[in-house]
Amino acid sequence: MHQIAVANGTIGVFAQGRGEPVLFVHGFPLGHDMWRGQIDAFGPNHRVIAPDLRGFGESKLTGATANTTLTMEAFADDLHVLLHAVFVDRPVVLCGLSMGGYIAWQFFRKYRDQLKALILCDTRATGDSAEQAAGRHKLAEQVLTQGPMAAVDAMLPRLVSPKTAEEQPAVVSDLRKMILRNSAVSIAATLRGLAERPDCTQMLPNIDVPTLVLCGQHDQITPLAEMKTMAQAIPGAQFVEIADAGHMSNMENPKAVNVSIDRFLKSI
Ligand code: MLT
């Protein structure tokens, strides 16, 4: 992992290989390890860049307090800085899952020149409803008083499909480990940023890069119907349903996700 200095912290970045740069942006509250199945598949023929976002995994957030907010825009700004730091000097394919997708909207808005294509996995363009935002603030308080285990209890049961939970215990335990290694302050700060993220629906018709949209068949967090509608609003976007997967489609069915990504990368 490279350690890249950014404002108030450092970002741990896995960067390896040569060729078309593909930037993998993880979901909440995880880390770059969630992309292991894609790093292994695409690393040999691409430049694969997979950061631990500010405050997650091997990245460090300094000077944060119990009241800090980490916005999707701040994460996108970090991606912009770290791409330069790992010597990526051409537009990237940004592949983001869930929160990684929320960050992708901000990256498109601010750094369009650095973007060649988008792969949006299990994500949405809308912001939180008042009720969802209130739930995030409540969970932030619980995480600060009880620790990251409160985030495991609230999120883990909804991240994977029932079939994955039964048949792939390693996926569940990897997710648990990824959540538990993050600090309560970082998780709470990101929950606040998620709650206040803007609605990006208006941006969809203006997306002018090739786009692939992937969604797990049993995704409970960003369901199929909503993602299909989102994909239809992006000019020319391709939509692929990933069988036997929930929200963490790339971990639950890496084979199907990798086939779709590979086909897409060869087409752009
Ligand atoms: C994620 O996977 O990044 C989260 O589920 C996003 C969210 O809670 O909206």
pLDDT the model gives residue 117: 98
pLDDT the model gives residue 17: 94
Q: Which of 129, 221, 227, 230 to mutate to test the pocket of ligand 1 (most atoms within 8 A of CB)?
A: 221
Show the ligand 1 pocket: residues with CB < 6 angstroms. Answer: 27-28, 98-99, 194, 221, 247
CB-based contacts of 153, cutoff 8 Å, min separation 6: none
pTM of the prediction?
0.98
Burial per residue of 206-222, b for 16 or more beta-carbon CB atoms within 10 angstroms, e otherwise: ebebbbbbbbbbbbebb
Beta pairing class for 211-216 and 238-242: parallel
CB-based contacts of 122, cutoff 8 Å, min separation 6: 27, 97, 98, 101, 214, 215, 216, 219, 221, 222, 227, 247, 248, 249
Q: Which of 24, 72, 98 to mutate to test the pocket of ligand 1 (most atoms within 8 A of CB)?
A: 98
CA of 28 from ligand 1 middle (Å) equals 5
pLDDT the model gives residue 56: 96
CA of 68 from ligand 1 middle (Å) equals 19
pLDDT the model gives residue 96: 99
Q: What is the pLDDT along the chain (268 residues), one digit of tens a residue?
A: 999 999 888 999 999 999 999 999 999 999 999 999 999 999 999 999 999 999 999 998 888 888 999 999 999 999 999 999 998 989 999 999 999 999 999 999 999 999 999 999 999 999 999 999 999 999 999 999 999 999 999 999 999 999 999 999 999 999 999 999 999 999 999 999 999 999 999 999 999 999 999 999 999 999 999 999 999 999 999 999 999 999 999 999 999 999 999 999 999 9
Give the nearest ligand 1 atom to 124 CA. 9
Give the nearest ligand 1 atom to 221 CA. 5
CA of 246 from ligand 1 middle (Å) equals 12
CA of 63 from ligand 1 middle (Å) equals 25
Instruction: List Cβ<8 Å contacts ≥24 apart for 14-18.
Output: 14/39, 14/48, 14/49, 14/50, 14/51, 15/47, 15/48, 15/49, 15/50, 15/86, 16/43, 16/47, 16/48, 17/42, 17/43, 17/44, 17/45, 17/46, 17/47, 17/48, 18/46, 18/47
Give the nearest ligand 1 atom to 155 CA. 5
